[in-house]
Structure 1
Amino acid sequence: MPTSTSAQTTEVRRIRRWNPAPSGLDGPFVLMGFPDPNPEVVWMENGPNSVYFEGADEVDHYTEVFDHLRARTLGPLETHARLTSLLKEKRT
């Protein structure tokens, strides 16, 4: 996870339509990394509640789920090309 706040970026990737969600995906979540000595945290929203996980087992679990999700996506350039194509289709 990034350890510097000065170079944060957001990367958009499109999940391939034919790929089912990986096991262990219980809903949307955010992995947050902080400079030492603060722990990495998982924030998860479910219905009207939010929960934070700080334990190494939970953080490791959601890191693995995230890695599986990322492996099932188009790369950044492919995502950009696909989204651009979809926008052009909608405009015509």
Structure 2
Amino acid sequence: MDIIVDQAYSYSYGMSAAYALAKGKIVLSGMESEARANGIYCDCPVINIRPNVQDIADKIASVIESRSKLGILSDASRDFAERFHDHKEVARQYAEIYHRPKQ
């Protein structure tokens, strides 16, 4: 099982993390409560990290110590990516916005 550390100085994850989620990887990145509050990310499996070595090391250790949950986290990553980053779903959302009546 791979653990991917993405950007730590952000409120949400980046494209590298999105690709990693699609591969079922466990992702550590910025994922602050403000990002989770928008509704889309409320069940996001990304583990929030702070931009300091100790916090990142502690989160990695916590994941490793939770070996029994690694499969669950991996499945949650893949599922999340399929629901929110699938190219067909993204295209559908763009089409929906494009075809909305102008106000």
Q: Same fold (TM over 0.5)?
A: no
Higher share of residues assigned strand:
1
Q: Which has the larger radius of gyration?
A: 1
Q: What TM-score, normalized to structure 2?
A: 0.37
Quick check: which one's helix share is greater? 2
